């Protein structure tokens, strides 16, 4: 499977190719057998390049995450991290999941339209806030508000949902204790306000089209100052998110709207994206 034709195949086809002969998550679990004979077509991990000067922060440790995915699942994920420019829809649609430091700084008409089109085609958007206040330059409430405002503007059909502790993303592969994402705290100084946040789903009808994390998962797998083993817990959470993103897609799948709670509507400035262009449109 090449990145250039990913937007022309269905999510079901992608799942079959990405997971190869593995059908059930129980088979995916580590310890069953060497993985190489089970791997399907290679898939890539990409960060979304935005106007932010920090869009690639912590990217140097992404290969560590990729190796963790390969060690613990049958995903044939490329150990190299890639770049998908928000101004280039063809680049974006080459990846089933895009990682972003935040989409609130995307102001161009093309960039905003590309994000909307990427998600509508079936792409999954994962937004994770860095724990360093010098990078985000805003508190977590404001970071979340800006992501929601952006999404309400470009994807008016989407809703941001609070994922409760019993949501399948906390147990679809690894069991995440307490049904809460692991949080990376700046200089390992505990912040009770930050610790209170869970994960937020970006819901379009019965499909989970993305997630927003205020946890600093990327800071964790980059081994910033944290308790021993914190990097592993953050990578486990990411594995769950990645697999949940790939294995869901409709009503009754265990990852749908019924497992989430909608946040109140957030008014947002700006106009919504226009009509959906054809899959071959730039």
21, 26, 30, 34 alpha-carbon torsion, rounded to 10°: -30
224, 227, 231, 235 alpha-carbon torsion, rounded to 10°: -130
The band of 261, judged by pLDDT with boundaries at 50, 70 and 90, is very low
* Number of CB atoms found within 10 A of residue 209's CB: 23
Q: pTM here?
A: 0.76
Residue 56 burial (C-beta neighbours within 10 Å; 0-12, 13-18, 19+): middle
Q: What's the confidence (pLDDT) of residue 60?
A: 73
Closest to 123 in 3D by CA, of 282, 281, 279: 279
Separation of alpha carbons 129 and 132, rounded Å: 9
Q: What's the confidence (pLDDT) of residue 119?
A: 95
Mean pLDDT for the chain overall: 74
Name the token pair of 40.
């399907």
Share of the chain above pLDDT 70, in %: 66
Q: Is the pLDDT of residue 215 over 80?
A: yes
* Number of CB atoms found within 10 A of residue 60's CB: 10
Q: What's the confidence (pLDDT) of residue 138?
A: 64
What would the mean pLDDT of 102-124 be, rounded to a whole number? Answer: 94
Give pLDDT tens digits for 44-94.
888 899 887 776 676 677 888 888 888 888 888 888 888 899 999 999 999
User: What is the DSSP-derived secondary structure letter of residue 59?
Assistant: G
Q: Is the pLDDT of residue 136 over 90?
A: no
Give pLDDT tens digits for 1-44.
334 444 433 454 444 444 443 333 444 454 444 445 444 567 78
Q: What's the confidence (pLDDT) of residue 175?
A: 94
Domains present along the chain, CATH in parentheses = 3-262 (3.40.50.12140)
Q: Which of 34-38, 160-164, 194-198 has the lowest mean pLDDT?
A: 34-38
By DSSP bridging, strand 159-162 and strand 77-85 are unpaired
Q: Is the pLDDT of residue 167 over 80?
A: yes
Share of the chain above pLDDT 90, in %: 34
Q: What's the confidence (pLDDT) of residue 223?
A: 67
């Amino acid at each position: 499977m090449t990145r250039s034709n990913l937007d022309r195949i269905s999510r079901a086809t992608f799942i079959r190719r990405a997971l190869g002969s593995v059908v059930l998550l129980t088979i995916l679990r580590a310890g069953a057998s060497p993985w190489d004979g089970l791997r399907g077509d290679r898939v890539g991990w990409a960060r979304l390049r935005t106007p932010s000067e920090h869009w690639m922060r912590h990217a140097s440790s992404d290969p560590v995450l990729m190796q963790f995915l390969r060690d613990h699942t049958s995903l044939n994920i490329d150990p190299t991290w890639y770049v998908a420019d928000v101004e280039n829809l063809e680049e974006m649609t080459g990846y089933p999941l895009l990682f972003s430091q935040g989409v609130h700084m995307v102001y161009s008409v093309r960039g905003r339209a590309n994000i909307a089109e990427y998600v509508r085609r079936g792409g999954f958007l994962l937004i994770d806030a860095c724990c360093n206040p010098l990078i985000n330059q805003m508190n977590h409430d404001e970071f979340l508000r800006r992501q929601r405002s952006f999404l309400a503007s470009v994807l008016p059909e989407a809703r941001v949902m609070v994922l409760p502790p019993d949501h399948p993303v906390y147990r679809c592969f690894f069991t995440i204790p307490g049904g809460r994402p692991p949080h990376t705290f700046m200089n390992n100084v505990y912040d009770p306000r930050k610790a209170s946040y869970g994960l937020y789903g970006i819901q379009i009808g019965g499909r989970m089209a993305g997630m927003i994390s205020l946890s600093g998962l990327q800071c964790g797998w980059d081994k910033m100052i944290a308790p021993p083993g914190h990097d592993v817990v953050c990578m486990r959470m990411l594995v769950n998110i990645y697999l949940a993103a790939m294995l869901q897609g409709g009503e009754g799948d265990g990852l749908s709207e019924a497992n989430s709670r909608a946040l109140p509507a957030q008014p947002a400035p700006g106009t919504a994206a226009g009509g959906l262009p054809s899959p071959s449109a730039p």
